[in-house]
Amino acid sequence: MATRRNRRVMEQLLQKETKMNTEPERKFGVVVVGVGRAGSVRIRDLRSPHASSAFLNLIGFVSRRELGSIDEVPQISLEEALSSQEVEVAFICSESSSHEDYIRQFLNAGKHVLVEYPMTLSWVAAKDLWELAEQKGKVLHEEHVELLMEEFAFLKKEVVGKDLLKGSLLFTAAPLEEERFGFPAFSGISRLTWLVSLFGELSLVSATLEERKEDQYMKMTVCLETENKSPLTWIEEKAPGLKRNRRLSFHFRSGSLENMPNVGINKNIFLKDQNIFVQKLLGQFSEEELAAEKKRILHCLWLAGEIQKHCCSKQ
């Protein structure tokens, strides 16, 4: 049964790729909002000769900085991007605190939207924006490149069919400005997305936040439970000089997985995400697939909000 289902999934993916490799009947005009690391990668991919890029026509970029142009791509104003009939798609690559406002403006202007995670810094806002996208008949896609990484593909194979007893995921990195990137449960939502994607919907048991602002130190400790009551601990620790690192430990009835082996280099993960977005524009995702993705994203945003409430109530 599982083999037939896997074969069917592979056939569907091949069909989608085949459709994308055909000559496009039309191109969607795209504007990139924000030209930091993610925005620069998006511009590079849009200008490269890839299958999904053939369906997209880069019109320009929007930035608060006066840059004029980047690699011959012109800077345009936000007002021009919103009002132009040429622009049909917005890639929102700005800091997280600005996502909600940009998404709302572009959806109201009748544009499709791709946004880097997290979509918003609140579950209520995300739910509202998805309803707006559905009212407008537009695609709203939240990027999750962490699900396209080689490490996640390895983990997915490792945990499938196994009975989890307990697990933990620790992430360390340099600090982020909360005003720009949100509370740690939102800025670190890719780790939460890993756990939910691997083990299903989770419930919150407890959450604490330790801070030493004079040292720019932060440690968030979150205790979660699977539907089978198996405990999962998620820790985000950030301070100047801390290297970006991920450590995990999963214990199953049939054995344990301690830390991540070297499973290869992550290649073109933003391009892979662009491919998924174009498939959505072309109507190549089923209603069931879209509904499952929406449910997962909203669940993670809801959990992040609950974690923030728990941490703030104890300070």
Which sequence positions are flagged as catalytic? 116-117, 143, 146, 190-191
What are residue 56's DSSP bridge partners?
Answer: 28
Q: Give the whole-angstrom CA distance, residue 219 versus residue 177.
A: 14
Burial, 192: exposed, middle or buried (Cβ in 10 Å; 0-12, 13-18, 19+)? buried
Is residue 172 a contact partner of residue 191, using CB atoms and an 8 Å limit? no
Output the DSSP codes for 177-246: -HHHH-SHHHHTHHHHHHHHHHH---EEEEEEEEEEGGGTEEEEEEEEE-TT--EEEEEEEE-TT---EE
Is residue 117 a contact partner of residue 142, using CB atoms and an 8 Å limit? yes
Backbone angles phi, psi at 178, to 5 degrees: -65, -35
Q: CA-based angle 159:251:242, to the nearest 5?
A: 95
